[in-house]
Amino acid sequence: MNWLEHPSRFLFFTGKGGVGKTSISTATAIALADAGQRILLVSTDAASNLDEMLGVTLSNTPVPVPGVPGLELVNIDPDAAADHYRSRVLAQMPNATAEEQSKVLEQLSGACTTEIASFDEFSSLLAGGAERFDHVVFDTAPSGHTLRLLSLPKAWSGFLEGNDRGASCLGPHSGLKMQEARFNQALEALTDPSLTGVVLVARPEAGALAEAGRTAKELQELELTRQWLVLNAVYQPTLADDPVSQAVARQGEQALAAMPAVLRTLPQARVPLRSFDSVGLPALRALLNDDLAGTLPAAEAPASAEAMDLPSLARLIEQLSGQGRGLVMVMGKGGVGKTTIAAALALGLVSKGHTVRLTTTDPAAHLELTLEASVDGLQVSRIDPKAETRRYIDKMMATKGKGLDAQERALLLEDLKSPCTEEVAVFHAFSHMVAQASSGFVVMDTAPTGHSLLLMDATGAYHRQMLQGLGERTNARIVTPLMRLQDPKYTQVILVTLPETTPVSQASALQDDLRRAGVEPYAWVLNRSLLAAGPRDPLLQARLSGESRQIERIRQGRLAQQLFVLPWQAQPPVGVTALRALAQ
């Protein structure tokens, strides 16, 4: 395990959602601590499940991990970070009136404040806030969000340099200028290969390897050049006459053979597919240790798929079709197959005679690659953050900039170059797409959980601002995007998960967050069910025991109002023909 032999002081783990970043990063932190090092394990993922894996309550201050001397855990919670950030901004305004403070708090209520606050906490660790630890291990959000996080030091340093005017969505600019030195220190630490390294985690799957390749290149452009590649869950079959196990192995071999060239240049390590879920200290210690892996107890035999009566995706499509129109939001943790499910649902609805708009809010969107062809009755689009930002800036310059002189227009354009403008632009595009569902079906493939929650937060903030703007006119007719999301006749939220402990827990946590926002999920889809595919290989059979427990957990715990299951596919469901087969 080459990254364990010569670890950098700051060690980032990233990759496509669902590849095992949290498991590998946590196992790494435990191994380093067991070797006598003082380790801080940091989660920057809003959808982190480290509490379940380690049995420790997450906190925004470091807490010791029982059973692992030398290891402490901290979670950069976006909401807690935002509250702390707002308190610090107000503390810089000791002479402000109550009205002035209220106005600042209103400015600091949006999603970009949450982003800069989380980044501020992250920067403090890179800029000397973790001196008592030998190594800081970062368990990050999925790739698209991580690239955004790692690009922020350069973005904010560039924005603040020479800018001495207000930045309204982040509060008084003076507060940000006080952080400029910290941001610059963070940038220096990130781009120093003697201090910072990145572990790209992937599974032997085409999509995960392609995303790891793109991430490797983008990280190099950000001057993060010290990289390792970890291939997780590499499977070797033991039965020659089991078609399912042979197909699982063949998929992995084909994906590895077509690995992007940039990944071949990196130091590489392989972690075998284990028969156990990576939950609890024994399993996490065994994940990177073959000798320990052989000592864990064998799993019980699972129930059959027939006995569990698992309804198909076709039945879900039939139900959605009966609605006639509406917004179908496909949500979940990264890597669970949201894009595949969204495309299959859209094609299924088209086959029922509906006109469908299929769109994505995911920075790492792959809809075009998944479909591979155009389809009559299906309109495919993407909410591209960079394109939407350009469009938003052009619109602001054409409206707010109209009538301004050259100097005033230059100042307005400078303000619009703030990194938080992207969040505002994406929200406006999202709101426009939500409105389209009033006249037909819109199927939306959302970004991984943490990024989706930030989008929901922006939606809620806009809703509150609209209601405050109405004042006493409570009878005024207004329909905000949040109200549409809360309307079960307008919006059906489909939560996608995998039949494993961590994805099910994260789907449950996402459902709790949605319910707090007044949004009730319509159904869950359990994707890539090996139980439904019926393998006979002993290792895969051992994995099935955990899968059947998760199905019972969902049903008996009544996590899902409805549960639909999609079997593991011998061939990746790419292309219109394969996706239509899922819908049938």
The two tokens of residue 511 are: 């459902």
Q: Is 48 exposed, middle or buried (0-12, 13-18, 19+ CB in 10 A)?
A: buried
CA–CA distance, 168 with 166 (Å, rounded to integer):
6
For the chain, report the end-to-end CA distance as a whole number of angstroms: 44
Rg from Cα positions in the chain: 24
Q: Which contiguous run of DSSP H or E holds residue 78?
A: helix 78-91
The two tokens of residue 484 are: 């549409």
CA–CA distance, 478 with 495 (Å, rounded to integer):
28
Look-up of token digits 């979670």: 75
Q: Is 297 exposed, middle or buried (0-12, 13-18, 19+ CB in 10 A)?
A: exposed
CA–CA distance, 29 with 136 (Å, rounded to integer):
8
Look-up of token digits 């990233």: 14
Dump the DSSP string for 210-259: HHHHHHHHHHHHTT---EEEEEEEE---S-TT-HHHHHHHHHHHHHHHT-
| SS3 at position 60 | coil
Cβ proximity of 7 and 15 under 8 Å: no
Cβ proximity of 16 and 208 under 8 Å: yes
- Maximum distance among all alpha carbons in the chain? 78
Backbone angles phi, psi at 496, to 5 degrees: -105, 135
CA–CA distance, 498 with 566 (Å, rounded to integer):
10
Cβ proximity of 31 and 4 under 8 Å: yes
23: region left, alpha or beta (phi > 0 left; psi from -120 to 50 alpha): alpha
Q: Which positions are annotated as active-site residues?
A: 18, 20-23, 45, 502
